[in-house]
Amino acid sequence: MSRITLSRYLIEQTRSHNTPADLRFLIEVVARACKAISHAVSKGALDDVLGSLGTENVQGEVQKKLDVLSNEILLEANEWGGHLAGMASEEMDKAYQIPGRYPKGAYLLVFDPLDGSSNIDVNVSVGTIFSVLRCPDRNGATGDLGEEAFLQPGTEQVAAGYAIYGPQTMLLLTLGNGVKGFTLDRELGGFVLTHDDIKVPETTQEFAVNMSNQRHWEAPMQRYVSELLAGESGPLEKNYNMRWIASMVADVHRILTRGGMFMYPRDNRDPSMPGKLRLMYEANPMAFIIEQAGGAATNGSQRILEIQPTSLHQRVPVFLGSKEEVERVTAYHQE
Minimum CB distance to Mg ion smaller for 9 or for 281: 281
Q: Would you give the binding string for Mg ion spanning residues 113-142, x where CB under 5 A is met?
A: --x---------------------------
Are 100 and 234 in contact, with CB atoms under 8 Å apart? no
Sign of CA dihedral 311, 313, 319, 323: positive
Minimum CB distance to ligand AHM smaller for 90 or for 325: 90
Residue 74 burial class via C-beta count within 10 angstroms: exposed 0-12, middle 13-18, buried 19 and up: buried
Minimum CB distance to ligand AHM smaller for 119 or for 204: 119
Whole-number minimum distance, CB 248 to ligand AHM, in Å?
Answer: 3
**162 contacts which partner out of ligand AHM, Mg ion, none, CB within 5 to 8 A by kind?**
none
Whole-number minimum distance, CB 271 to ligand AHM, in Å?
Answer: 17
Whole-number minimum distance, CB 307 to Mg ion, in Å?
Answer: 17
Residues 6+ apart with CB under 8 A from 238: 205, 231, 232
Whole-number minimum distance, CB 19 to ligand AHM, in Å?
Answer: 29
Minimum CB distance to ligand AHM smaller for 91 or for 325: 91
Minimum CB distance to ligand AHM smaller for 238 or for 269: 269
Minimum CB distance to Mg ion smaller for 131 or for 330: 131
φ, ψ of residue 267 to 5 degrees: the values are -145, 170
Minimum CB distance to ligand AHM smaller for 9 or for 262: 262
User: Mutual orientation of helices 248-258 and 284-292 as an angle, nearest 10°?
Assistant: 10
3-state SS assignment for residue 89: strand
Whole-number minimum distance, CB 334 to Mg ion, in Å?
Answer: 28
Q: What's the chain's length in residues?
A: 335
Ramachandran class of 131: left when φ > 0, alpha when ψ lies in -120 to 50, beta otherwise: beta
- The CA distance from 198 to 268, in Å, is 36
Whole-number minimum distance, CB 64 to Mg ion, in Å?
Answer: 11
Are 289 and 305 in contact, with CB atoms under 8 Å apart? no
Are 286 and 297 in contact, with CB atoms under 8 Å apart? yes
**Subset of residues 79 to 118 that bind Mg ion, contact rule: CB under 5 A:** 112, 115
Give the residue among 201, 208, 324, 223 at the shortest CA–CA distance from 261.
208
**117 contacts which partner out of Mg ion, ligand AHM, none, CB within 5 to 8 A by kind?**
ligand AHM
**246 contacts which partner out of ligand AHM, Mg ion, none, CB within 5 to 8 A by kind?**
ligand AHM
Whole-number minimum distance, CB 250 to ligand AHM, in Å?
Answer: 8
Q: Where are the alpha helices (DSSP H) in 55-188?
A: 65-78
* Interface ranges with ligand AHM (CB under 6 A): 61, 90, 112, 115-118, 210, 246-248, 264, 276
Minimum CB distance to ligand AHM smaller for 115 or for 291: 115
**What value, to the nearest 5°, has the Cα angle with vertex 18 and ends 312 and 129?**
30
**118 contacts which partner out of ligand AHM, Mg ion, none, CB within 5 to 8 A by kind?**
ligand AHM
Which residue, judged by CB position, is nearest to ligand AHM in the bound state?
A: 248
Question: Which residues in this chain contact Mg ion in the complex, by CB under 5 A?
Answer: 112, 115
